[in-house]
Amino acid sequence: DADVTQTPRNRITKTGKRIMLECSQTKGHDRMYWYRQDPGLGLQLIYYSFDVKDINKGEISDGYSVSRQAQAKFSLSLESAIPNQTALYFCATSDVGSNTGELFFGEGSRLTVL
Amino acid sequence: AQSVAQPEDQVNVAEGNPLTVKCTYSVSGNPYLFWYVQYPNRGLQFLLKYITGDNLVKGSYGFEAEFNKSQTSFHLKKPSALVSDSALYFCAVRPANDYKLSFGAGTTVTVRA
């Protein structure tokens, strides 16, 4: 089983719908992140959380919200999806005990908003 | 603010030839530098990192990268490319005192048989 699991892996939805992407991890890491990948733009940070009570906005948080339900779970919500949120979304974790902050990624959730 | 530039969208090489993927960065203070690889329909996988010490770092799958402080570069290299190295490669940087990584736009590597 993957250490960082994302569900769903693929989702097609319509404009205005609410969507939740879920992430769970078995690595025991405190830090969790949501990134968005668009072709030619690399990865952009949406939100990050350094522990259950800590939520921080990233570079492109508008239109998104997150919930850290437990150390192992971090979900990303789109309250009212729009077509330009069509992208590949990645959850990642890192270990607070690591001085390098190396990220461990899930397999990605591909979202299409029609 | 930190940033990463990967000047080549695509790199094409023949199998057995050397492979170089370029990366330059901008960051305040000492940089922590990373290379990740993404295979089709997969998440990003860590290849190697530079934190401090020797400028030449070795990583997974025979890859290495050279840190050049004066040129603010961290180019990824492999002496002899394989077809299986065909993938999307990302360079990333963060300052030593911040855990938020900034990624480049990525470089698609195609190794032809």
Min Cα distance A82 → chain B (Å) is 23
- Chain A residue numbers with beta carbons less than 8 Å from the beta carbon of B43 are 4, 90, 105-108
Preceding peptide of A8 cis, ω within 30°: yes
CB-based contact, A99 to chain B, within 8 Å: yes
Give the chain B residue nearest A46 (alpha carbons): B100
Phi, psi of A46 (to 5 degrees): -95, -60
Give chain B's radius of gyration (CA, Å): 13
Q: What stretches in chain A show pLDDT beneath 50? A: none
Cβ-Cβ pairs closer than 8 A, A with B, add up to: 54
Contact check, Cβ <8 Å, A42/B43: no
Tell me the pLDDT tens digit for each residue of B65-100.
Answer: 999 999 999 999 999 999 999 999 999 998 888 778
Tell me the pLDDT tens digit for each residue of B46-61.
Answer: 999 999 888 999 998 9
Q: Give the model's pLDDT for residue B34.
A: 95
Structure tokens at B28: 């305040």
Identify the residue among B6, B47, B98, B100 best suited for mutation to test binding to A, counting A beta carbons within 10 A and taking the highest.
B100
Contact check, Cβ <8 Å, A45/B100: yes
